[in-house]
Structure 1
Amino acid sequence: MLTGIIAAAAGLAFLGFIVTMQVRRKRVTPKALIILPVVFTGLSVGLDRSWLAELGSGMAVLLLVTGSLAAIGLAVARAATIRLEQGPKGPMQKGNWLTAVLWLATFAVRIATMLIGMRYGVAQGPGEAFFFVALTFAAQNAIIAKRAGLIGRGERRPALAG
């Protein structure tokens, strides 16, 4: 019981941190865009090495694919809410209230996927959760990098983007 309460508190603190960081004005740098997807990918494999091997059932695969598509779709929506502007040291990003709402929706979708998995006997541990977070950050950050002109041709005037 205490472990569950601690895990829930840690999850809520993490959610608060993520949402806060997404709505603050900050520089867009390759390092900042890459670090969270890499960290969460590492956590997904490092903390739960068995989750990929447990994709033996159709329902497990369906939940992974559905969750992955939802993570990417919500990332695209969130990226559209993030304003880019040119700062003195390069591109800057800032989310808004809709960015925060979409992050809450992202976590709600992940919780719903977990509950559906529990209902159908598909165990989901931290590996799947961290993979979901890594994927949603990677998709969002790839779009921001493109819009900021850090990859590909980008936009010529990021101040007009988003």
Structure 2
Amino acid sequence: MNSATSIVIGLAVLAWVLWRQVQQRLVREDRKPTVVLILAVLGVVALAAFFKSGSPSATAIALLAGSLLVAVLFGVVRVYTVRLWRADSQLWRQGTWLTVVLWIAAIAIHLGLDFVIDANSPVKGLGNASILLYLAVTLGAQRLVVQQRANRQEQTA
């Protein structure tokens, strides 16, 4: 998968994720993390293809690891901007405008780190190749913590 394809897919997924974040949705514990898994697989495939084209510097790989850590942190922080409530004996969730702002900030940080990564590596494009994995990590972290928060709310209800 080339860099432009990864960017286009990443932007399409981001638009879809942002739209889904502000929708009122049931919190379902039995739901499988299909989207997260698909993004993770596509992200790993994109990274594998990137690594076949050359070896980035150790600094670039460390920055990529830092970027994925930022993904986890933003995923966790966003959870506390999501409204959870009970209606008709069911638990519902809906992101707020702050959820969307935090998503945009997280992606902006990733893109900023892309420039730093490329500046510190002889092989360019590691940041672009990692966007789908970044989305999988941040969405997965948010999903896990929303479930934990929902479970705590269920126990206190």
TM-score of the two chains, using structure 2 as the length reference:
0.79
**What residue is the counterpart of 1:128 in the other structure?**
130
Q: Secondary structure at the match of 2:92?
A: strand
Once residues 41 and 7 of structure 1 are traced to their aligned partners in structure 2, the CA distance between those partners, rounded to angstroms, is 13
Does the residue aligned with 2:79 lie in a helix, a strand or coil? helix
Tell me how far 1:30 sits from its aligned partner.
Answer: 3.4
Q: Which has the higher contact order (CA 8 A, sep 6+)?
A: 2
The residue aligned with 1:18 is: 17
**Structure 2: segments with no counterpart, 5+ residues:** none
- CA displacement, residues 75-124 of structure 1 (integer Å, 9 cap, x when unaligned): 11111100111233632110111001001011101111211112222531
* Residue identity in the other structure for 2:27: V
Instruction: Percent identity, please.
Output: 25
CA RMSD, 1 decimal: 2.8
Give the letter aligned to residue 131 of structure 1. L
Separation in structure 2 between the aligned mates of residue 72 and residue 147 of structure 1, nearest angstrom: 16
Cα distance in 2, alignment partners of residues 44 and 10 from structure 1: 11
Q: Secondary structure at the match of 1:148?
A: helix
Counterpart of 1:77?
A: 77
- The structure that is helix-richer by fraction is 2
Q: 1:26-80 deviations in whole A, cap 9, x for unaligned? A: 1112355612221111111234424567676321221122101110111111111
List gaps (5 residues or longer) in structure 1: none
Give the TM-score of the pair, scaled to structure 1: 0.77
Conserved? CA contact 1:83–1:95, under 8 Å: yes
